Amino acid sequence: MDALHALAEPHRRKVVEILAHRGQLSASQICDEFDVTPQAMSQHLRVLREANVVQMEKRAQRRLYTLNPRSLDQIRAWAAQMARLWIERLNRLEDALKEDAA
C-alpha cells in the first residue's frame, strides 16, 4: 500500500497531523485522541506503518510512533505533478481565449 492510499482514510490523516504536531507518541496516546477502539486504532496504525508513513519503535511494552517525513515526498510529488498539469491546461485555455479575442 502506498502513502496516498493509506492517507485516504480520515482517521489515518488525523494520526499523521497529530504526530506532525506532537512528535513521538505511544499507541495509547494516539488512541486517546479518537473515539475508536484500541483494536481499530491498531489497524489504522498498521496500515500507516505498512505504507511507511509512520515508524514504530518498541520500548518494553510500549509501541512508540513517529511520522516518517520522507513518506510525504510521494504525496508532494503527486500534488506538484497535478499542479503542473492544471497550470499547463489553464495556460492553453488562456492562449485559446486570446486567439479568439483577436
Q: For residue 100, is pLDDT > 80?
A: yes
84 burial via Cβ count (<10 Å: 0-12, 13-18, 19+): exposed
Structural domains of the chain in order of their starting residue, each with its CATH number: 3-101 (1.10.10.10)
> What are 9-68's pLDDT values in tens digits?
999 999 999 999 999 999 999 999 999 999 999 999 999 999 999 999 998 889 999 999
Q: Give the pLDDT confidence score for residue 72 in this predicted structure.
A: 84
Residue with cell 511520522: 67
Sequence-separated (6 or more) residues with CB below 8 Å from residue 91: none
First CA to last CA across the chain, in angstroms? 51
What is the per-residue pLDDT for 2?
87
Q: What is the pLDDT of residue 71?
A: 86
CB atoms within 10 A of CB 71: 19
Per-residue pLDDT at 102: 82
Q: What is the pLDDT, as a whole number, of residue 87?
A: 95
State yes or no: pLDDT of 1 exceeds 80: no
Cα separation of 83 and 42, whole Å?
A: 34
Q: What is the pLDDT of residues 53-88, one digit of tens each?
A: 999 999 888 999 999 988 888 888 889 999 999 999
